[in-house]
Amino acid sequence: MSSSKFLTTPKPAPELNIPESSSTVKISVIDSTARLSLPFSHFLTPTLKGKESIGGPAYSTLIEHPSGRKVLFDLGVRKDWENMAPIIVGTAKKAGWSIKVEKNVAEILEERGLRTEDIEAVIWSHHHFDHTGDVSTFPPTTALVVGPGFTSEMTPGYPTNPEAPILESDWAGRELREISFPSELRIGNFLAYDFFGDGSFYLLDTPGHAIGHMSALCRTTSTLSTKAKSDTFVFLGGDCCHHGGEFRPTPYLPLPSSFSPSPLTPHQPHSVCLGSLFTAIHPASSPTEPFFDIAPGLPHDIDEARRSIRGMEQFDAHENILVVIAHDESLLGLMEMFPKSLNAWSETELKERGKWAFLADFSEAVEQKKGTTV
């Protein structure tokens, strides 16, 4: 990383070449009730003063097509997490991970009158325990959709393979469908798969964090079917990142010189000039590069994981695309949650309100910096 001065003009957002479509999906982000707390240093580098752990929520997302077809993207953590594959349970207990879950996603849906029988498929962004939930709580008619390489690398599951990190009961008796990305369809830097065949919902090949890691792009409004000013999208990033400081700031979204309201005091609406202080605590004193890098040893392939983050940043550069990563604690309290829809996110200025909310995690570091510069 190299230092640079504040930019007055952000770098233009790159072309993503998203195909036009009049079709949209309704999306609802589900608070799966999971709350995780894991060591910060296991995920990100450098460490952040006052932020020893990372985790927060584990989102699941309901995607509803106008035809009535419904799928889920991720399931969070299963309620009876101690019944996960023994190798994962043993690792969690030995490492002292804090895992709390009140309900399975299937329970949350049924409480709101949505039948599990109506869910066509559960899509795993990847196979890690905080995304796989408990697929066995869905009927055999619900398919399990996974990313490239999953079948060859991750099956058989436990107990056939005693060392497997996933349970084969999740796909026993149901269709296990592995996505094969066509080489001719690319959105941004990623290979894409048109799930419903009408441009409303794409799966994206975002490798690196884990074998077969996928993200999703949901079209939430379309100028071809409404009077909307522009098409809007939600990018579901899974575990491309674990913290907003991993993909912001960038040359497309440089750190501003002032904030209104301040991410440190969000209930005080006045403008605060904190840009120089946030830049001062940046590892490279840069307003145009992310605060954090991936901790070595975390991803399946660190180089691929970094490329996927850079690709996600290009989507984030567009004001009509909202990026939601699976564990973004800073969006809790700002983002409409299931059973409400997220489709009106642009009208509620959610991106503007939430893009720098993660900086609240820097409060102790900022206060310490103030103390050394008085």
> Tens-digit pLDDT profile for the chain (374 aa)?
333 455 558 999 999 999 999 999 999 999 999 999 999 999 999 998 888 898 889 999 999 999 999 999 999 999 999 999 999 999 999 999 999 999 999 999 999 999 999 999 999 999 999 999 999 999 999 999 999 999 999 999 999 999 999 999 999 999 999 999 999 999 999 999 999 999 999 999 999 999 999 999 999 999 987 776 789 999 999 999 999 999 999 999 999 988 877 888 766 665 557 788 899 899 999 999 999 999 999 999 999 999 999 999 999 999 999 999 999 999 999 999 999 999 999 999 999 999 999 999 998 888 887 665 43
User: How far, in Å, CA of 208 to CA of 310, rounded?
Assistant: 12
Q: What are phi and psi of 165, to 5 degrees?
A: -85, 0
What is the dihedral sign for C-alpha 210, 326, 290, 12? positive
User: How far, in Å, CA of 374 to CA of 367, rounded?
Assistant: 11
Class of domain 26-373: alpha beta
Distances (CA, A) of 47 to 283, 286, 307, 371: 10, 17, 22, 20
Burial bucket for residue 327 (CB in 10 Å: 0-12, 13-18, 19+): buried
Domain ranges, ordered by start, for the chain = 26-373
Angle at 319 between CA 314 and CA 320, to 5 degrees: 100
Token digits for 69? 């077809």
Q: Quick count: other Cβ atoms within 10 Å of Cβ 229? A: 10
H or E element, residue 57: none
Token digits for 147? 């990313």
Dihedral of the CA atoms 324, 328, 331, 337 (nearest 10)?
Answer: 70
H or E element, residue 105: helix 105-111
SS3 state at 176:
strand
The pTM is what? 0.95
Give every strand in the sheet of 186-187, ordered side by side: 186-187, 190-194, 201-205, 214-221, 232-238, 321-325
Q: Quick count: other Cβ atoms within 10 Å of Cβ 177? A: 15
Beta strands 53-56 and 35-39 are antiparallel
Token digits for 74? 């991720």
Within its chain, how far is the Cα of 79 from the centroid? Answer: 21
User: How far, in Å, CA of 343 to CA of 347, rounded?
Assistant: 9
pLDDT of 372: 58
Provide the b/e sequence for 73-84 (b: ≥16 CB within 10 Å): bbbbbbbebeeb
Residue 90's identity, in one-letter code, is: G
